């Protein structure tokens, strides 16, 4: 299983969500996408986006450079 990393350091809403959505579309169900971001808005944006889209928010952690968000792709309705 692959793990795509999306570097969004220095980018602000809505770019981290838009880039994550683009990469999640490209991976297979069950694979993960890791987003690196320093926009504090991601703390609210990613949990909400995952709830709306049905993808799993595996983790959202504060790290030295900002935030590391891991999303697992899910099919609608799973």
pLDDT, tens digit (0-9, with 9 covering 90-100), for 27-49: 999 999 999 999 999 999 999 99
For tokens 């983790």, the residue is 59
Structural domains present in the chain: 3-72 (3.30.110.40)
Q: Catalytic amino acids?
A: 13
Q: What pLDDT was estimated at residue 75?
A: 81
Q: How far is CA 71 from each of CA 32, 35, 51, rounded to the nearest angstrom?
A: 5, 8, 11
Residue 20 tokens read as 């994550």
Rg of the chain over CA atoms, in angstroms?
Answer: 11
**Helix 15-26 / helix 42-53 crossing angle, nearest 10 deg:** 40
Q: Is the pLDDT of residue 16 over 90?
A: yes
pLDDT digits (tens, 9 = 90+) for 52-71: 999 999 999 999 999 999 99
Average pLDDT over residues 3-15: 93
Bridge partner residues of 15 (DSSP): none
């Amino acid at each position: 299983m692959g793990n795509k990393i999306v570097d969004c350091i220095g980018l602000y809403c809505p770019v981290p969500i838009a880039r994550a959505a683009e990469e999640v579309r490209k991976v297979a169900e069950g694979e993960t996408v890791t987003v690196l971001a320093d926009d504090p808005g991601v703390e609210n944006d990613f949990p909400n986006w995952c709830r709306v889209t049905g993808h799993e928010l595996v983790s959202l952690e504060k790290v030295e450079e900002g935030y590391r968000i891991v999303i697992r792709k899910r099919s609608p309705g799973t």
